[in-house]
Amino acid sequence: MTQTTEETKKQPDSRGLAGQVIGETSVCAVNQTQLMYRGYEIADLAAHATFEEVAHVLLVGHKPNAEELKAFSDEVASYRAIPTAVRDAIVKIAKDTPEAHPMSVLRTAVSLLSHTCDLCEDNSAEAELLKSKMLLAKIPTCIGTHQRALDGKEPVEPDTSLSHAANLLWCITGEKPHDISAKVMDVSLILYAEHDFNASTFTSRVIASTNSDMHSCVCGGIGALKGNLHGGANEAAMEMLSDIMEATSGGQTVDEYMQHAFETKKKLMGFGHRVYKNGDHRAGILRDWGLKYCEEVNPEAKAWFDLGDEVQGIMLRDKNIFPNVDFPCGMTYFAMGIPVPQYTPIFVASRITGWCAHIMEQHQNNRIIRPLAQYAGEGIRNWNDG
Question: Which DSSP string do the residues of 70-120 spell out, in sequence order?
Answer: HHHHHHHHHT----HHHHHHHHHHHHH-TTS-HHHHHHHHHHHHHHT-TTT
Query: Which H or E run includes 36?
Result: strand 35-37
Residue 358 appears among annotated catalytic residues: no
Type of residue found at 76? V
Nearest-angstrom CA–CA distance, 281 and 324: 8
Nearest-angstrom CA–CA distance, 100 and 95: 10
**Selected catalytic residue, list 281, 326, 358, 363:** 326
Closest by CA position to 220, among listed 123, 85, 367, 114: 114
Residue 273 appears among annotated catalytic residues: yes
3-class SS at 223?
helix
Residue 74 appears among annotated catalytic residues: no
**Selected catalytic residue, list 101, 122, 178, 230:** 230
**Selected catalytic residue, list 273, 281, 358, 363:** 273
Type of residue found at 172? I
Phi/psi zone of residue 151: left (φ > 0), alpha (ψ -120 to 50 degrees), beta? Answer: alpha
Q: Are 71 and 60 in contact (CB under 8 A)?
A: no
Pairing of strands 40-41, 35-37: antiparallel
Output the CA torsion 181→182→188→194 (10° steps).
170
The angle formed by the CA atoms of residues 102, 241 and 44, to the nearest 5 degrees, is 75
Sign of CA dihedral 36, 41, 43, 49: negative
Q: Are 261 and 268 in contact (CB under 8 A)?
A: yes
| Residues noted as catalytic | 230, 273, 326
